Structure 1
């Protein structure tokens, strides 16, 4: 037992009085590091186990603080290797950060392995040339260095991880915190606010007296509270500018909710209106924290926001959401609550979300397409499971493109043949499935090669099995057929999806585009079979995939052989896949975009200026006035009939309107030519049409910006501070037009200050100041 457990030594009264024993115990319990033992040359160092165990971590920290021994500019002696003489190369330092060179031994060492010596299963230290004796074979140096690094879980990489952990601790102790800036006076990273103040004070003596070190210590205007007050002053001026731009005009409301990084529900509010120049504008008003996402809570938050900014719910003429159940409920949703107070706040479901649901969700109702997308996700996940596989895919694709360029198969040019990788498809991201299929088709040989490498080199039998099954699936004719089919279907709606997300897109133009896509789907159903078959067969021939004979019988997958159906390949691929998928998409397009057939939108479509106002109908436009009694009085409805006739007669003869293609351009041209004053009721109809929301893309962009402002390293940011930062960040174009004097005056009026900021000696916008930096 004494071999494993040493007996405790109890100090009695006699021994405690013995100075020799006390000194020995004290020396044993406290050992200090002698910096003379820290030697730079790795060939002259003491081994780590020669240091006392209580100071070994201190030794490691000291060596990591000093860094590896890499003498720059040293004349490295040459050694004879056969008929050639070779020496250590200084360029190797840039490739291997762990590499050290011993001048005394003319040998290479590894700093990481020296600090954390690898051990074998027996418990004894493994002898390594990079730790004790030193490596001197310069002929095969790079190959030996890579062999020393080894695989992911090698001894060298385990030592690297432990060194990184200590390095991170050293950085934190040195004050290099990753959670913020160092705001001390001698810091070079004080943050944008303090550095901007310092820059500006150097160019304005009056300002430097207030905010520089010349000012009183308690009145330098650099505290976080001052930063927040200034940002709030900027936000107030921006919001005031938006409210003044809306004026007494009607507007629409777009709302969505999302969680921020600190798991707090935030509601984003965007207003859509037509400004004085006839332009369709979407402005971010605010982001509000809500306790829950019930329709009543959202409605109360909107009411409070409207009261705060002096907006009236009676001027609301449109509302748009992304389709969440708590917002679009027929009886108790936010839509219904607003309609109860204002029946003229027309609800328009987000067209972009509807389009995404049509293509992805409906297509997946076909069991073959659903199975196809599951395999696509597995392919993307397998090839991108690790950095090593992603890098391998990039390198293989790079080598393939270079070979094709050298062979003259493809041409090069600006913006062509860019480095790419497989994109992960997501049901909530517009166009992500289309991008995934495009890249899978273009990188097909490279993806197959990566799968084969996994089958050959992977140490996991599960990974080998998955890769093998994916190769078999990819080289199946059915997989290639569905890949081309979905790529063509998604391609027909890709441009429409992008157009619907534009801020100035109007409801009439969106209806026209949707009708065009519907017609295109119908043509594709009638004539697209032969086109897709040619593309599939050509692709299969190029990639050595067996092409099926459409007249042969096929066994329907997913069914027992006892219940197999004797159908031909032509019937299976054309009827059970092609027609079924296309028909379901067409049917769902007609169902989800049923708003296109309502009376309101049919009347609005008469304002479209295409083909010299070929759809212009006076009676329907008069009926449109009846649908908005709050905006058109009884007398207006009588007068507007003749005004519409005069308007269409004048516009068709005016050359300024001959090139107008959409309703938004028509409104702007009317303002430019002052026809909005000549035909005010007609212009009001156009304004009512343009104000209806098409998509909630602007609100989605707000949440993207929120992830930039409030990150996981700044997750304690308050709601008001985040809202002010977001308004300034998103509405940069308005912020650039606001004079500094306006912001300073509002800042002064927010609360009493110890001193008054001096007025600027020359007018200069905040934007121009930032551009000077």
Structure 2
């Protein structure tokens, strides 16, 4: 919508009409009853109610969709031009299960522009019924073909360490290298770092137990709206007023991303103890909840639990910024090695 010189027009309808992007029905409307929104309503204050009603009309929504589609096509063409100008590229792909339990494959390409800027462009998310290497290769090639990208110009590919992705004989990387031998495979460094951290911590039973306690307590608080409200209102007015907002769930797959959850939990550790202690003696609460609160309180009061949570926090503090740095598209191997060398 636009108001200029005390005149009110509909920018969408004006654009569509002037660029001949209207169908017969919309043209009849804009040349008849809707002409006021193209040429402009003289008094914008009086025209505002009518414009708001017009904004909800089918004609306006149809034309808005056309404009959005044109903008999307223009952005897509601009992205394709940059990719074609760069010519050479690398593939980044991964698969995951969405909330509806369907496998989704992300396909991204990485390239360098003529201005030596590193770009990463997501080609799309693609559903697949199978996660076999053969099926995933078909998805990746299909995504490249959809965007008119020549596989022969691929110079790199990066995936996680799953056998179907990095297998030397029948994995995705091996199958793509048979198509294009110049597509060098790079094992995702972020995934390797995560595995190193995971294996290091999995060697200590006390660490696994402490993490399980943290996860159980956070779930106990956040899984019930009633308990969450009670926890949020506990000790309101002091420096820890928003206790519930400080609690973060643990990342289920990436150990290196568990530092924020650890830090937030330890920051209000004493308050959690106080809340559980008050909950276990609250007679208005059902027996099962009080029993669970007593169990969680006993676990958190153990020295081993607190000590291991603090130890893991100290362990992850230098690791977390390295992992974060790895996610930046312009990060070099030398920069990461320098950060690790400072440990």
TM-score category of the 2 structures, normalised to the smaller one: 0.7 to 0.9
Structure 1 residue 448: Cα displacement: 0.9
**Which residue, out of 366, 379, 382, partners 2:204?**
366
2:320 corresponds to 1:494: yes
Quote the Cα distance in structure 1 between the aligned partners of 2:79 and 2:15: 32
Residue of structure 1 in register with 2:52 after alignment:
none
1:293-304 correspondence to structure 2 within 5 Å: 293-304=131-142
Deviation digits for residues 437-481 of structure 1 (CA, Å, limit 9, x no counterpart): 211211122101221122012633332222223222222222221
**Which residue, out of 260, 274, 291, partners 2:112?**
274
Is residue 434–residue 487 contact of structure 1 (8 Å, CA) maintained in 2?
Answer: yes
Residue of structure 2 in register with 1:287 after alignment:
125
**Which residue, out of 55, 59, 80, partners 1:243?**
80
2:266 corresponds to 1:450: no
Deviation digits for residues 273-319 of structure 1 (CA, Å, limit 9, x no counterpart): 11111111111223333342221112122223333433222221111
Structure 1 residue 425: Cα displacement: 0.7
Flag the 1:267–1:232 CA change in 2: closer, same or farther, 3 A.
farther
Quote the Cα distance in structure 1 between the aligned partners of 2:137 and 2:337: 29
Is residue 198–residue 255 contact of structure 2 (8 Å, CA) maintained in 1?
Answer: no
2:12 corresponds to 1:200: yes
Is residue 86–residue 114 contact of structure 2 (8 Å, CA) maintained in 1?
Answer: no
Residue of structure 1 in register with 2:30 after alignment:
214
Quote the Cα distance in structure 2 between the aligned partners of 1:235 and 1:271: 19
Residue of structure 1 in register with 2:5 after alignment:
none
1:531-542 correspondence to structure 2 within 5 Å: none
Residue of structure 2 in register with 1:711 after alignment:
none
Task: Compare CA radii of gyration and give the structure with the larger one.
Answer: 1
Residue of structure 2 in register with 1:428 after alignment:
253
Comparing both structures, which one devotes a greater share of its residues to strand? 2
Structure 1 residue 237: Cα displacement: 3.2
SS of alignment partner, residue 105 of structure 2: strand
Quote the Cα distance in structure 2 between the aligned partners of 1:326 and 1:264: 18
Quote the Cα distance in structure 2 between the aligned partners of 1:264 and 1:473: 37
SS of alignment partner, residue 464 of structure 1: helix
Structure 1 residue 334: Cα displacement: 0.5
Structure 1 residue 198: Cα displacement: 5.1
Residue of structure 2 in register with 1:72 after alignment:
none
2:288 corresponds to 1:483: no
SS of alignment partner, residue 250 of structure 2: coil
Residue of structure 1 in register with 2:165 after alignment:
327
Flag the 1:497–1:209 CA change in 2: closer, same or farther, 3 A.
closer
- State the TM-score, normalized to the length of structure 2: 0.76
Residue of structure 2 in register with 1:345 after alignment:
183
Deviation digits for residues 355-379 of structure 1 (CA, Å, limit 9, x no counterpart): 2232234302311111111111111
Residue of structure 1 in register with 2:214 after alignment:
376
Flag the 1:223–1:341 CA change in 2: closer, same or farther, 3 A.
farther
Flag the 1:398–1:330 CA change in 2: closer, same or farther, 3 A.
farther
Flag the 1:250–1:369 CA change in 2: closer, same or farther, 3 A.
same
SS of alignment partner, residue 448 of structure 1: helix
Unaligned runs of 5+ in 1: 1-196, 404-416, 521-773
Structure 1 residue 424: Cα displacement: 1.1
1:615-634 correspondence to structure 2 within 5 Å: none
**How many residues align structurally?**
306
Quote the Cα distance in structure 2 between the aligned partners of 1:394 and 1:261: 28
Is residue 258–residue 266 contact of structure 1 (8 Å, CA) maintained in 2?
Answer: yes
Residue of structure 2 in register with 1:256 after alignment:
94
Residue of structure 2 in register with 1:162 after alignment:
none
Quote the Cα distance in structure 2 between the aligned partners of 1:397 and 1:349: 49
2:321 corresponds to 1:473: no
SS of alignment partner, residue 400 of structure 1: coil
Asked which structure has the greater RCO (Cα within 8 Å, sep 6+), the reply is 1
Is residue 389–residue 450 contact of structure 1 (8 Å, CA) maintained in 2?
Answer: no
SS of alignment partner, residue 318 of structure 2: helix
2:266 corresponds to 1:441: yes
Is residue 88–residue 111 contact of structure 2 (8 Å, CA) maintained in 1?
Answer: yes
**Which residue, out of 149, 154, 157, partners 1:316?**
154
**Which residue, out of 144, 160, 167, partners 1:306?**
144
Is residue 398–residue 419 contact of structure 1 (8 Å, CA) maintained in 2?
Answer: no
* C-alpha RMSD of matched pairs (Å): 3.4
Deviation digits for residues 477-506 of structure 1 (CA, Å, limit 9, x no counterpart): 222211110010011111112111112223
Quote the Cα distance in structure 1 between the aligned partners of 2:195 and 2:334: 21
Unaligned runs of 5+ in 2: 1-8, 34-56
Flag the 1:230–1:242 CA change in 2: closer, same or farther, 3 A.
same
**Which residue, out of 331, 336, 340, partners 1:510?**
336
SS of alignment partner, residue 87 of structure 2: coil
Is residue 228–residue 244 contact of structure 2 (8 Å, CA) maintained in 1?
Answer: no
1:178-197 correspondence to structure 2 within 5 Å: none
